[in-house]
Amino acid sequence: MSTAVILMNLGTPAEPTAPAVKSFLRDFLSDPRVVEIPRPLWLAILHGLVLPLRPRRIAPAYAEIWGRSADGEPVQGSPLLYYTRRQAELLQEYFGERRRDITVAHAVTYGKPGLESVVDGLRREGFESFIVFPLYPQYSATTTAAIYDQVAQIFRSSRDIPDISVVKDYYQNSHYIRALASSVRDHWEKRGPAEKLLLSFHGIPKANIKKGDPYYRQCSETAEHLAAELGLRAEQWQVSFQSRFGKAEWLQPYTDKTLIEWGKQGVASVDVICPAFSADCLETLEEISVENRANFLNAGGKDYRYIPALNLRRDHIEALAAIVEQKLPAQSAR
């Protein structure tokens, strides 16, 4: 039985314009998994304040990163969508080299190509075995659970439901940790290690953790595994959280405030890596590479280096393949 693997990431506006950003944010921020405050209150805020104002503010940031990679090389369109598509293509090549009867596609939670349309297309081709692979190493209800919701909704009215599984997380997978470590070592070989290594994860509201979300624990364990793989002492690295939104308290310490404090304390150089991101996107290429670089340098820091996401690294593709192999149905695994 042939298996189709669907790599999934968050999604992106169709183009770097305010109308396209507004459409994307409407879809994204309307999901109850993403924003958990009472619906009537949130929808009033979303449609009354966020959607009228935020798209115009962040569309220029999308325009800055559109069509370029972390190393400045040109890519086609949205970096996030480009990398997700290419990861699927490279994973397909990897399995093809090994004569594995596995088809790899890609989809996004918000925007296009959507999961339902991708699944429909694959089912028309005859596939009845699916592995949905969210490219979020650390599980959160705000990200991975939204994909579980979509899977359930897609097959809600199906009489004959296919064999389908979802990769819940891979935060401590040894292949993933080694790929992260190799990316850091490759960076150090070119530029030498900085005084500090900051592991910046995407933040979520602190209240989510109190409700049972395992994200903070999984981020901490990823960081500890990576630090151990690199042989770092406790004073050489730290975890932080970025991309907070709204007035509620989010996971701390905050990335921007940490970098400002380090600059003021006399930390001369810093390397920043974002282990929660499988592909470079707005949050890494603009928020980390540009905004937080300025925060650190303006506070007195001298040397700021962003270590790109794993993107299209061969060891990243091999890590994804190893995770897929663990999820294959028995017939496909042989």
- Which residues touch 270 (CB under 8 Å, ≥6 apart)? 194, 195, 196, 197, 198, 259, 262, 296, 301, 303, 304, 305
Is 202 among the annotated ligand-binding positions? yes
Give the 3-state secondary structure of 174-233.
HHHHHHHHHHHHHHHHHHCCCCEEEEEEECCEHHHHHCCCCHHHHHHHHHHHHHHHHCCC
pLDDT at res. 1: 62
Is 283 among the annotated ligand-binding positions? yes
pLDDT at res. 73: 83
Per-residue pLDDT of the chain (334 residues; tens, 9 = 90+): 689 999 999 999 999 999 999 999 999 999 999 999 999 999 999 999 999 999 999 999 999 999 998 888 888 899 999 999 999 999 999 999 998 999 999 999 999 999 999 999 999 999 999 999 999 999 999 999 999 999 999 999 889 999 999 999 999 999 999 999 999 999 999 999 999 999 999 999 999 999 999 999 999 999 999 999 999 999 999 999 999 998 899 999 999 999 999 999 999 999 999 999 999 999 999 999 999 999 999 999 999 999 999 999 999 999 999 999 999 976 555 4
Burial class (CB in 10 A: 0-12, 13-18, 19+), 333: exposed
pLDDT at res. 288: 98
Nearest of 87, 15, 59 to residue 279 by alpha carbon: 87
pLDDT at res. 332: 53
Q: Would you say the CATH fold of 174-307 matches that of 3-170+314-333?
A: yes
pLDDT at res. 72: 81
Residue pair 144/109 in contact (Cβ under 8 Å)? The answer is no
**Concatenated DSSP letters of 285-299:** IIIIIIIHHHHHHHT
Nearest of 235, 303, 295, 299 to residue 269 by alpha carbon: 303
How far does CA 32 lie from the centroid of its chain?
19
d(CA 238, CA 254): 11
d(CA 205, CA 193): 32
- What does R_g of the chain's alpha carbons equal in angstroms? 20
pLDDT at res. 158: 87
Please, where are the H alpha helices in the chain?
Answer: 18-29, 39-45, 51-65, 79-97, 115-124, 144-154, 174-191, 206-210, 215-230, 255-265, 282, 292-298, 314-327, 330-333
Please give the backbone phi and psi of residue 130, each rounded to the nearest 5 degrees, phi first.
-130, 140
Tokens of residue 278, six digits = 């499988």
d(CA 287, CA 59): 13
Task: List b or e across 141-174, with b for residues whose CB sees 16 or more CB atoms inside 10 angstroms.
Answer: bbbbbbbbebbeebbeeeeeeeebebbebbbebe
Q: Which fold has domain 3-170+314-333?
A: Rossmann fold (3.40.50)
Instruction: Please determine, looking at this structure, whether the domain spanning 174-307 carries the CATH number 3.30.1490.190.
Output: no
d(CA 14, CA 249): 31
Strands in 129-134's sheet, in edge-to-edge order, are 102-110, 3-11, 129-134, 163-166
Boundaries of every domain in the chain: 3-170+314-333, 174-307
